[in-house]
Amino acid sequence: MRNFALIAIPSLLLLGACDSRSPEKTSPAKTEAPIAQKKETEALPKAMEPISLPPSIVASRQYRCADRSLIFVDYMSDEKSVLVRTDAKGFPVRLSGEKNGVMSGKDYTLKGTKDDKSIMFSSPTNPSPQRCQS
Return the half-sphere exposure (C-beta side, CA atoms, 13 A cut-off) of residue 128.
Answer: 2
Quote the Cα angle for 119-116-98, to 5°: 70
Cα-based distances in Å from 15 to 4, 25, 28, 57: 16, 19, 21, 70
| Per-residue DSSP letter, 124 | S
- Domain definitions of the chain by residue range: 57-133
- What percentage of the chain exceeds 70 in pLDDT? 65
Distance CA 61, CA 103 (A): 16
pLDDT tens digits, one per residue of 13-50? 666 666 656 555 555 555 555 665 655 556 556 667 78
pTM listed for this prediction: 0.61
Higher-pLDDT residue of 101 and 8 is: 101
Distance CA 80, CA 101 (A): 8
Q: How confident is the model at residue 98 (pLDDT cuts 50, 70, 90)?
A: confident
pLDDT tens digits, one per residue of 108-124? 999 999 999 999 999 99
> Across the chain, which distance is largest between two alpha carbons, in Å?
104
